[in-house]
């Protein structure tokens, strides 16, 4: 009796490296899609605003919970900020379906490397690999299905939080203080630019991050702010020397209420 699926042991494979996505490619699990030559109007749910900022001990990453399709709300409680391993997290904006799958592959890739090699990739190494995943999406981007992630983590080599933004062709840019991607990104960034301070403590960093998200939701209709009536709060992840920690709704609630009541 065998429970669940089973596969033959992957012994003699052409590229027995430590990369999981290379393994998938070798085994033919990533069949290239046949895309039409002319771009077509294809509507799929899109994730909107996510942002990250550096504080004294690490980085905080925040994302709203709404996915929109055209002018409609597709999902009210989607998740856009994910821990990618013990010391990093990734947030996504753009075509939700592709982005969530990209995160899943990224998570498996990091864990696979860690188990095969017996040590974790450096934060820089993880960021570089994510750029490769974004670049692989380029054919889809030409069809209008764009995925742009945001990556942040605690760098154990330098002992501080670092964050990276990307562009649609897989360009990777390290940001000093804060970064944001998605439809409300410019609004969130201008809020952060005027309110960011050096050496913030964790609670004030969380307040600032949620405040920036609420500011973006005010002007950008696609971004969903905290929904106090339904009890839907932004996803908040903090990463410091202790590792990744996701705040519970009860922990996010005070920051959300403060940010909402500060709206004029």
Partner 1 sequence: MSFNFYVPAEQQVRDKAEFARKGIARGRSIAALEYDNGVLLLAENPSTALRKISEVYDRIAFAGVGRYNEFELLRKAGIRQADLMGYLYSRDDVTAQAVATAFSEALGAIFSREPKPYEVEVLVAEVGDPNRLYRVSYDGTLYDERQVAAIGGKADVLVESLRQGWTEGMSLDAALAHGQAAFATAEGRPLEGWEAAVLDRQNGRRAFRRLQVPAS
40 near partner 1 (CB under 8 A): no
Q: Which stretch binds partner 1 (CB under 8 A): 18-26, 34-42, 196-204, 242-250?
A: 18-26
Q: Provide the minimum distance between the beta carbon of 28 and partner 1 in the complex, in angstroms, as a whole number.
A: 12
260 near partner 1 (CB under 8 A): no
Query: Any residues with CB less than 8 A from the CB of 164 and at least 6 apart, and which?
Result: 127, 130, 150, 151, 152, 172, 173, 174, 175, 179
128 near partner 1 (CB under 8 A): no
| Catalytic position from the list 48, 49, 68, 223 | 48
Q: Does 49 qualify as catalytic in the annotation?
A: no
Site for partner 1 in 90-119 (CB under 8 A): 104-105, 108, 111-112, 115-116, 118
Q: Provide the minimum distance between the beta carbon of 183 and partner 1 in the complex, in angstroms, as a whole number.
A: 30
Q: Provide the minimum distance between the beta carbon of 163 and partner 1 in the complex, in angstroms, as a whole number.
A: 25
From its phi and psi, is residue 263 left (phi > 0), alpha (psi between -120 and 50) or beta?
A: beta
6 near partner 1 (CB under 8 A): yes
28 near partner 1 (CB under 8 A): no
Is 135:172 a contact under the CB 8 Å cutoff? no
Is 126:153 a contact under the CB 8 Å cutoff? yes
How far apart, in Å, do the first and last CA atoms of the chain sit? 65
Q: Provide the minimum distance between the beta carbon of 15 and partner 1 in the complex, in angstroms, as a whole number.
A: 11
Q: 174-178 contacts: CB < 8 A, separation 24 or more?
A: 174/127, 176/54, 177/53, 177/54, 178/51, 178/52, 178/53, 178/54
Binding footprint of partner 1 on the chain (CB under 8 A)? 2-11, 13, 16, 20, 23-24, 27, 29, 104-105, 108, 111-112, 115-116, 118
């Amino acid at each position: 009796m065998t429970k669940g699926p089973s596969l033959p042991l992957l012994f003699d494979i052409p590229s027995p490296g430590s990369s999981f996505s290379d393994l998938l490619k070798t085994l033919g699990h990533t069949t290239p899609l046949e895309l039409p030559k002319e771009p077509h109007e294809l509507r799929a749910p899109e994730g909107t605003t996510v942002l990250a900022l550096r504080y004294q001990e690490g980085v905080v990453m925040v994302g709203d919970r709404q996915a929109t399709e055209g002018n409609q709300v597709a999902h009210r409680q989607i998740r856009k900020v994910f821990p990618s391993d013990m010391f990093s997290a990734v947030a996504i904006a753009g075509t939700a379906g592709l982005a969530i799958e990209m995160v899943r592959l990224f998570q498996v890739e990091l864990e696979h490397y860690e188990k095969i090699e017996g040590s974790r990739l450096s934060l820089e190494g993880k960021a570089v690999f994510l750029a490769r995943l974004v670049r692989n999406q380029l054919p889809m981007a030409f069809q209008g299905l764009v995925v742009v992630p945001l990556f942040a983590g605690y760098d154990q080599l330098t002992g501080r939080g670092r964050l990276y933004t990307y562009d649609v062709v897989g360009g990777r840019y390290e940001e000093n203080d804060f970064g944001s991607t998605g439809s409300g990104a410019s609004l969130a960034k201008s809020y952060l630019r005027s309110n960011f301070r050096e050496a913030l403590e964790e609670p004030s960093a969380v307040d600032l991050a949620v405040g920036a998200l609420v500011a973006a939701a005010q002007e950008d209709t696609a971004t969903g702010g905290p929904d106090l009536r339904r009890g839907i709060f932004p996803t908040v992840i903090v990463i410091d020397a202790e590792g990744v920690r996701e705040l519970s709704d009860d922990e996010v609630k005070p920051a959300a209420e403060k940010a909402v009541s500060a709206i004029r």
